[in-house]
Structure 1
């Protein structure tokens, strides 16, 4: 039988379920997430061999050394093994391991294998029958998952700051474990930090005020649910908290606290709206951490504590769809996780669809339609970036063997994935589709998933006669391009915006544009629709009338700079310089440097000059992308 025709019941297999003897040995042990055993679930970005020995729990006891810029201490790993397993293989990246012992302190032989620029190094430990191992180690000063900021790189300017970013395979640079999204693990942590600082993590906070210790203050955390290891996250700094609702609140530096709490005042309502769609929120608290501007992403959906860029704070709550997106990950991505990075779309396509439904429930169908329509444009741009609609990277299910998983983190996964799900909704009807999604999250809760598993699950629990064929499900997932019957949500509000853009392009009369009731999305559409052949005087008129070069709304500023750079508008270079040196969000940084560099003699020198100033403040994720663009 073809692999893609297998039902999920045949795809899910725990070590205990596959090995009766091991099941007997582990009777009464905490339930662990299953490991998928199909070829499609083989993780080419991990050295782990989970069918022989797998990590089920990680216990960290670490000290954050801000002088040396390392995390040092121990990681205690609980293992589930097949009978007779002699070794466990872990993922690591430039870790300094002093020793490995069993639970009684007996030394266990270990060795690093040949390193790889993308994957790091395999760390193999000889078990000698051990079911628990203790690794004494330290991260490297340049660990790519960790960014150590000086005080002057923070809002308060008085204390240093540390944050982690683990997705996709960076956590192996500070946690020696099996760093694969299909090998879910529970965890706990004791983190010691300088006395004046506060630590937060993506788990239950056991010691809210910290405990005095010889090295400063120790904070303890616990996550009793199995999570993908990239979701273990930490931040340390001068942090304060403000409650928004019974289970929601905001962490950030004191100087940012009031603005942040005001921007996200609807957070508790948003969680309730999401629950009304697809079932209970299962992670306890849903708090936000607003980070310093060098954070490389818009948000990161770490359980219980979403990490958020300050670029989402516009002052008018117009960019909170990003929060809806990260919240939606509490179901799609965190609850049901892509088993490998080849199926990144299972995390993001579902989440973009769910995000839009939350926005519709919160703010109405018109706003949701604008966001979906803008997303269609992002998808088309992603196809172009991938080499065209028929290029291999325009598929949902990818083959990323030998490549950095970040290569698959494009708007193809996000937006084409969401369009695919909207197309299914259109065929089967919203009522049945919603019922299916709710049951899907229930059935697959705390488990990994593959594209084949999803298709099998839809065959078993959703599709009626002829529906799968009408949609062309396998074509959507495994083939390049976009089917002709893809559902394109079109915003009725954008027709007037498009006419206004055409009129301005012809006349240059900014005062004639009726902006009554315009939101961020109207401005994004208008600026995107203007041609890249506008004369400088029209761009100057627009900038002067609307204050675009100094806009405090990051999405509008970005859209303006992409337009201005595309038209080689000299006065915008100063604004680009200020913008690119004030934040490190890759969504903005990468396209702007690419646009500048594409302008050869005009923009290339400016790109390099700006980057020399900005690069030291960027996270490794952002640096890696721009380094490739500029050939550094």
Structure 2
């Protein structure tokens, strides 16, 4: 059902505390019904019947590569509703019952490519029974569930035990949890997960104490049960799980990090500033409402830099540089504790409300902890990235709009439009209205919409009323609608400080003019951001002699910073530089982060006869170790159509 009442909501009553796990839930988050809140990527009809709480009781089966058990769903429904529609993708349903164990009729609908299939459950067991307020779904995930990455021991740092992690965003959690998988349908949840010893399970909820020893069935390994709860309503994509041979290191009273033992010391050292980052976020934008901020550094197959799962941020090991130079990633994922997790877009078309706002907050936290110079450099990189994307796509390309238009899938939109343009937009507003006023308004926005879904129209309406006080002249200077719904970069965009990279830009200009390179001492004295800036301005076409001299002077192939190494390899591969191929192969075999993997395969592929055989052979070796998201991107680049 699609409703178009502007800014209207269905605000259902507070849900009863469920018996399972004694979880106490706060008022159920509203269901937004405005046009901009419509989510075309869910089968659910939450205006009629919705899920408010999920209780998982699952066994992890590493041999069959599936989870199996039950999902108990607490529901709210209108008096007229006779059924509830859930999102699924590949789930093997065995039966569905109500709270009294009475069988409920259900039907799996027709599968829709990229969306899964609707699971429709009748809410009355028979004509005489009352409407079910709780249903229990018995099921198993498919071995190829896209949200779940099952790693063999050789794909881990230790090489002895298997590993599992999930990645639910955007619409993949429906491959292992039968629920209403839409960001606007926030739910509390709890879980009991069993795994074979000695594996440890962590989730994006608060652990409920030491695991329960379960012993073993004849011929099977001993198992342990781990329990978790999340009593704050979250969008379903933020329910996350990881399991492996992992250990914990405390960082501070609110934070710590999990990793394989072989990586734990380096991981703990790299995230050592976490408590300061949390304090900075609180100082700037108000209370941290999640209790703890723990992290887990996953094996390299993880496809993203980080994922902001509440109380358990998932991190790629590629951010570890030994000098905390890539800790903008930690600041970014922490910033989601306010924008994205606390207030969440109701529709995937409003991606900027999560990522753009978060990138702005990341910049502010970075300035607070690491200083204005570093923050200005990172803003300049962000602005340059946006400007390049607009130049490549065209200033009138709908792909450069922050609010994704209907003709483009929000999953195919330009990342620069979501992350970087959002950052520049809020920086522009801040400069025009003043930082003090803007901070007060943004903090109030988070407070007033905590644990609720939001839309672009709500954000702009609140800004007009509470920040601008309906000052028409001030609003006209901000170009609000042009920023959010328009394309390109509006003329009032806050420009980066030209001094941020003055020395680097002068060096880049000298190199472009006559090949003069900065000295090795100058290079080593630059920040990681400055090194990235220089490499991002390299000429598109370079000779073998150019690349050899560049590497010899700057030591690029031996850098410990993967962001810098990636830029070196990309320049080398696009210029068919044979000496870099072995390192590129090694890098692509150990790293699954799509930010690095797809561009390097693309660089190889675009060279034609030189790089395509390299890419094809390498992808045959590495594809199985990549996450489904990374595979989907590289499949498109190389035209892969074979079996996984």
Query: Shorter-normalised TM-score: what interval?
Result: over 0.9
Equivalent residue in structure 1 for 2:82, among 80, 86, 103: 86
Q: Which residue of 2 aligns with 1:536?
A: 544
Q: Which residue of 1 aligns with 2:575?
A: 567
Equivalent residue in structure 1 for 2:423, among 418, 425, 434: 418
Q: Which residue of 2 aligns with 1:429?
A: 434
Distance 2:212 2:269 in 1: 27
Equivalent residue in structure 2 for 1:609, among 617, 624, 627: 617
CA shift, 1:376, in A, is 1.3
Distance 2:401 2:514 in 1: 41
Distance 1:86 1:333 in 2: 33
Task: Please say if residues 373 and 489 of structure 1, whose CA atoms lie closer than 8 Å, have aligned partners that are also in contact.
Answer: yes
Q: Deviations over 1:482-534 (max 9, x none)?
A: 11111122351412112212323444454646336311111101111121222
Give the secondary-structure state (helix, strand or coil) at the position aligned to 1:366: helix
Distance 1:598 1:44 in 2: 35
Q: Which residue of 2 aligns with 1:600?
A: 608
Q: How many residues align?
A: 615
Distance 1:384 1:572 in 2: 29
CA shift, 1:117, in A, is 1.6
Equivalent residue in structure 2 for 1:377, among 369, 372, 384: 384
Task: Give the TM-score, by structure 2 length.
Answer: 0.93
Change (3 A) 1:162 1:409: farther
Equivalent residue in structure 1 for 2:8, among 6, 11, 16: 11
Distance 1:121 1:239 in 2: 35
CA shift, 1:552, in A, is 2.2
Q: Deviations over 1:160-192 (max 9, x none)?
A: 000000000000000000000000000000000
Q: Which residue of 2 aligns with 1:23?
A: none
Task: Please say if residues 4 and 34 of structure 2, whose CA atoms lie closer than 8 Å, have aligned partners that are also in contact.
Answer: no
Change (3 A) 1:340 1:587: same
Determine whether 1:195 maps to 2:192: no
Q: Deviations over 1:293-329 (max 9, x none)?
A: 0000000000000000000000011000000000000
Task: Please say if residues 92 and 121 of structure 1, whose CA atoms lie closer than 8 Å, have aligned partners that are also in contact.
Answer: yes
Q: Which residue of 2 aligns with 1:141?
A: 143
Q: Which residue of 1 aligns with 2:55?
A: 59
CA shift, 1:426, in A, is 1.2
CA shift, 1:379, in A, is 1.6
Q: Which residue of 2 aligns with 1:554?
A: 562
Instruction: Map 1:299-318 to 2 at 5 A.
Output: 299-318=306-325
Equivalent residue in structure 1 for 2:467, among 448, 457, 462: 462
Distance 2:475 2:280 in 1: 30
Determine whether 1:578 maps to 2:598: no
Q: Which residue of 2 aligns with 1:363?
A: 370
CA shift, 1:11, in A, is 3.1
Moved more, 293-302 or 394-403: 394-403
Determine whether 1:442 maps to 2:451: no
Equivalent residue in structure 1 for 2:158, among 156, 159, 169: 156
Distance 2:505 2:491 in 1: 24
Determine whether 1:393 maps to 2:425: no
Task: Please say if residues 502 and 530 of structure 1, whose CA atoms lie closer than 8 Å, have aligned partners that are also in contact.
Answer: no
Structure 2 gap ranges (5+): 15-23, 125-130, 217-221
Moved more, 57-66 or 210-219: 210-219
Moved more, 584-593 or 351-360: 584-593
Task: Please say if residues 278 and 438 of structure 1, whose CA atoms lie closer than 8 Å, have aligned partners that are also in contact.
Answer: yes
Task: Please say if residues 366 and 491 of structure 1, whose CA atoms lie closer than 8 Å, have aligned partners that are also in contact.
Answer: no
Distance 2:299 2:291 in 1: 25
Higher relative contact order (CA 8 A, sep 6+): 1
Change (3 A) 1:83 1:448: same
CA shift, 1:112, in A, is 0.9
Q: Deviations over 1:379-430 (max 9, x none)?
A: 2343356x32211111011135784x43136121000011111111111110
Change (3 A) 1:534 1:34: same
Change (3 A) 1:117 1:512: same
Distance 2:275 2:414 in 1: 29
Q: Which residue of 2 aligns with 1:321?
A: 328
Task: Please say if residues 12 and 34 of structure 1, whose CA atoms lie closer than 8 Å, have aligned partners that are also in contact.
Answer: yes
Task: Please say if residues 505 and 534 of structure 1, whose CA atoms lie closer than 8 Å, have aligned partners that are also in contact.
Answer: no
Change (3 A) 1:242 1:400: farther
Change (3 A) 1:119 1:516: closer
Distance 1:211 1:265 in 2: 33
CA shift, 1:223, in A, is 0.1
Give the secondary-structure state (helix, strand or coil) at the position aligned to 1:406: coil
Determine whether 1:624 maps to 2:632: yes
Give the secondary-structure state (helix, strand or coil) at the position aligned to 1:515: helix
CA shift, 1:213, in A, is 5.1
Moved more, 44-53 or 486-495: 486-495
Task: Please say if residues 14 and 34 of structure 1, whose CA atoms lie closer than 8 Å, have aligned partners that are also in contact.
Answer: yes
Structure 1 gap ranges (5+): 18-27
Give the secondary-structure state (helix, strand or coil) at the position aligned to 1:571: helix
Q: Deviations over 1:412-451 (max 9, x none)?
A: 1000011111111111110100000110100000000011
Task: Please say if residues 574 and 606 of structure 2, whose CA atoms lie closer than 8 Å, have aligned partners that are also in contact.
Answer: no
Equivalent residue in structure 2 for 1:274, among 281, 292, 295: 281
Change (3 A) 1:490 1:604: farther
Task: Please say if residues 15 and 51 of structure 1, whose CA atoms lie closer than 8 Å, have aligned partners that are also in contact.
Answer: no
CA shift, 1:542, in A, is 1.3
CA shift, 1:535, in A, is 2.0
Give the secondary-structure state (helix, strand or coil) at the position aligned to 2:525: coil
Distance 2:260 2:524 in 1: 36
Task: Please say if residues 507 and 517 of structure 2, whose CA atoms lie closer than 8 Å, have aligned partners that are also in contact.
Answer: no
Task: Give the TM-score, by structure 1 length.
Answer: 0.94
Change (3 A) 1:210 1:369: farther
Distance 2:477 2:96 in 1: 56
Give the secondary-structure state (helix, strand or coil) at the position aligned to 1:193: strand
Distance 1:396 1:534 in 2: 35
Moved more, 493-502 or 94-103: 493-502
Give the secondary-structure state (helix, strand or coil) at the position aligned to 2:610: helix
Distance 1:29 1:357 in 2: 32
Determine whether 1:247 maps to 2:257: no
Moved more, 567-576 or 209-218: 209-218
Task: Please say if residues 89 and 116 of structure 2, whose CA atoms lie closer than 8 Å, have aligned partners that are also in contact.
Answer: yes
